[in-house]
Amino acid sequence: MVKVVRVHTPGGPEALKIEDLPVGDPGPGEARVKIEAIGLNRSEAIFREGRYIQPPGYPTLIGYEASGVVEALGEGVGNVSVGQRVSVLPMFQQGRYGVYAEAAIVPARALVPAPEGLSQTESAAIWMQYFTAMAVTEFGKAGMGDFVMIPAASSSVGLAAIQLCNWAGATPVALTRRRGKETALLAQGAAHVIATEEQDLVEEIKRITGGKGARIAFDPVGGPYVDTLAQALSEDGILFIYGSLSGQPTPYPHWPAAFKNLSLRGWVASTIWNKPDRFARGEALIRQGLREGRLKPVIDRVFKLDDIAEAHRYLESNQQVGKIVVEV
């Protein structure tokens, strides 16, 4: 029996229930992993509330990014070995599997060797953010001379985008609602910070870019503000929308898009890891960036598994700059 977190009814952080349950043995193509650290993702809070794109059946497991040690292998698994330190990537349907636990069974295809030189806590805080942020450099082709707007820039994905932009030679412009995080974002590599509730985004972007606008926006918020983002883009700019944190319908910004020939693209990280060639390139790039110090996970705060509800409350407080990790 091990501690496992399950959700029996949709709700707030108090819906996360710690239970003693048997884990069992892995089936074909699966592995059992002793979980040592869990990286929290905003989508897990949305899943907990019952608002995720894939509604759960109750009771449900939760969580899909972690690090640990392989304990057992199912039939046909050859990519990892028992005793190996691994990272669990979120390459499976949330709820069908879940890593909020002392031990968990996961698809073996979701396991990669933990990067050398990183702690287990850091190994749980890298893959989702960098694969998601690769939209900017691998598909947006951000490079020298490009300005990139990054809403919700203090999130782990936002900071990953800042690091990738700097590596590629692009200029990251961090967007945050108020000025309270400006110093922290500048310290994390943002070239400029715009407080969108206190400053006029379009005018600030014009000032920063000499009137031409930003070429890329990388937005996890959605909702009506995408029209403002579109107005701040340059001719032939691209707007990535990879989330819906606003909880509001996202309109199509027709006139800015039409007059400036903009491209709008939905984005999820599985666009990379569901394609073996893309996944191999992306994994190699992340490992290179970690080795060379160009990429470094930023961990804001660490909780214990017994405090998982408090960790979710902190996640939803929007106070953090970087990743929230739960140690097991």
Phi and psi for 206 in degrees, rounded to 5? -60, -45
Element (H, E) at 240: strand 233-241
User: What is the Cα–Cα distance from 323 to 321, expressed in whole angstroms?
Assistant: 7
Residues 300 and 321: beta-carbon distance below 8 Å:
yes
CB under 8 Å to 281, separation ≥6 — which residues? 138
Q: Which CATH class is domain 2-126+297-327?
A: alpha beta
Query: What CATH number has the domain spanning 128-270?
Result: 3.40.50.720
Residues 119 and 85: beta-carbon distance below 8 Å:
no
Q: Give the model's pLDDT for residue 244.
A: 85
User: What is the Cα–Cα distance from 266 to 87, expressed in whole angstroms?
Assistant: 26
Residues 126 and 115: beta-carbon distance below 8 Å:
yes
Pairing of strands 299-304, 263-266: unpaired
In the chain (328 residues long), the average pLDDT of successive 10-residue segments reads 97 97 96 98 93 87 97 96 96 93 97 95 96 96 97 96 98 95 97 97 98 97 96 98 89 94 94 92 96 96 98 94 97
Closest-CA residue to 175 (of 204, 146, 213): 204
- pTM summary value: 0.94
Question: pLDDT digits over 257-298, tens only?
Answer: 999 999 999 999 989 988 999 999 999 999 999 999 999 999
Domain ranges of the chain: 2-126+297-327, 128-270
Question: pLDDT digits over 93-128, tens only?
Answer: 888 999 999 999 999 999 999 999 999 999 999 999
How many other CB atoms are found less than 10 A from the CB of residue 228? 16
Pairing of strands 192-195, 171-176: parallel
